[in-house]
Structure 1
Amino acid sequence: MWRSIASNALTLFIVLLVALAGLLAWGRQEFNGPGPLTEAICVKVEKGASLSEVSRTLEAQGAVSDARIFRIGADYSGKGQGLKFGSYLVPEGASMVQVLDVLTAGGASTCGREVNYRIGVAKAEIVLRELDPATNRYVEVVKFDPAAEAAPQPYVDATLAGDLRWQVTLAEGVTSWMVVESLKRADFLEGAVDAVPPEGSLAPDGYEVEKGGARAALLTAMQDKQTRILADLWASRVEGLPYDTPEEALIMASIVEKETGIAAERKQVASVFINRLRAGMRLQTDPTVIYGVTKGEGVLGRGLRQSELRRATPWNTYVIQGLPPTPIANPGRLSIEAALNPDVTEYLFFVADGSGGHAFAKTLAEHNENVARWRAIEAQQGTEGGGVQGQ
Structure 2
Amino acid sequence: MRRFGCFGLLVAAALALAALTVFRGWIGPGPADKEIEVLVKPGSSLTSAARQLEDAGAIRSAEQFLKFAKLLGGDAPIHSGEYKVEPGMSGRALLAMLQDGKTLQRFVTVPEGMPSILVREKLMAEPLLSGTVAVPAEGSVLPDSYSYQRGETRAAVLKRMQDAMTKTLAELWSERKPGTAVSSPQEAVNLAAIVEKETGVPSERRRVASVYSNRLKMGMRLQADPTVIYPITKGKPLGRRILKSELAADNGYNTYARAGLPAGPIANPGRDSIAAVLDPEQTRYVYFVADGKGGHVFAETLDQHNANVRKWYAIRRDRGEM
Q: Which residue of 1 aligns with 2:69?
A: 74
Q: Which amino acid aligns with 1:173?
A: G
Aligned equivalents of 1:243 and 1:376: distance in 2? 36
Instruction: Report the secondary structure of 1:207's partner residue.
Output: strand
**Following the alignment from structure 1 to structure 2, what is the Cα–Cα distance between the partners of residues 90 and 41?**
7
SS of residue in 2 equivalent to 1:319: coil
Preserved CA contact (<8 Å) 2:142 2:270: yes
The answer to which of 17-26 and 356-365 deviates more is 17-26
Contact preservation (8 Å) 2:81, 2:149: no
Aligned residue in 2 for 1:88:
84
Give 1 or 2: higher strand fraction: 1
Q: Which runs of 5+ in 1 are unaligned?
A: 61-66, 111-164, 385-391
Match of 1:330 among 255, 259, 268: 268
What TM-score, normalized to structure 2? Answer: 0.75
CA distance in 2, matches of 1:244, 1:54: 60
Cα pair distance change 1:254/1:46, threshold 3 Å: closer
Q: Distance in 1 between matches of 2:133 and 2:37?
A: 34
Where do 1:123-162 residues align within 5 Å?
Answer: none
Give the Cα–Cα distance (whole angstroms) in 2 for the partners of residues 53 and 262 of structure 1: 49
Paired with 2:79 and 2:71, the residues of 1 have a C-alpha distance of: 14
Quote the Cα distance in structure 1 between the aligned partners of 2:297 and 2:225. 16
Instruction: State the distance in 1 between where 2:78 and 2:85 align.
Output: 17
For residue 368 of structure 1, the aligned residue among 286, 306, 312 is 306
Structure 1 Cα separation of the partners of residues 22 and 223 of structure 2: 73
- Aligned residue in 1 for 2:101: 106
CA spacing shift, 1:36–1:179, aligned 2, 3 Å = closer
Change (3 A) 1:49 1:234: closer
Hey, what does 1:305 align to over in structure 2? 243
Cα shift at 1:268: 1.7
Structure 1 counterpart of 2:211, one-letter code: V
In 1, are the aligned partners of 2:38 and 2:82 still within 8 Å (CA)? yes
How far off is 1:186 after superposition? 6.0
Over aligned residue pairs, what C-alpha RMSD do you find? 4.3
Distance 1:90 1:340, change over 3 A: same
Which residue in the other structure is 1:246 paired with? 185
TM-score (norm 1): 0.63
1:256 aligns with 2:252: no
Counterpart of 1:50 in structure 2 is 50
**What is the percent sequence identity of the aligned residues?**
43
Distance 2:175 2:246 in 1: 38
Is the deviation greater in 325-334 or in 364-373? Answer: 364-373
Could you list the per-position Cα deviations for residues 276-333 of structure 1 after superposition, in whole angstroms to 9, with x for gaps in the alignment? 2233332221111222444x26432211123322333322222322222211111111
Cα deviation per residue 1:132-184 (whole Å; 9 max; x = unaligned)? xxxxxxxxxxxxxxxxxxxxxxxxxxxxxxxxx5x443232222334346656
Q: Distance in 1 between matches of 2:28 and 2:238?
A: 58
Higher relative contact order, structure no. (Cα contacts within 8 Å, ≥ 6 residues apart): 2
Unaligned segments of structure 2, at least 5 residues? 41-47
Structure 2 counterpart of 1:285, from 205, 224, 239: 224
Alpha-carbon spacing, 1:352–1:213, altered in 2? closer, same or farther (3 Å)? same
Q: 1:220 to 1:88 in 2, by over 3 A?
A: closer
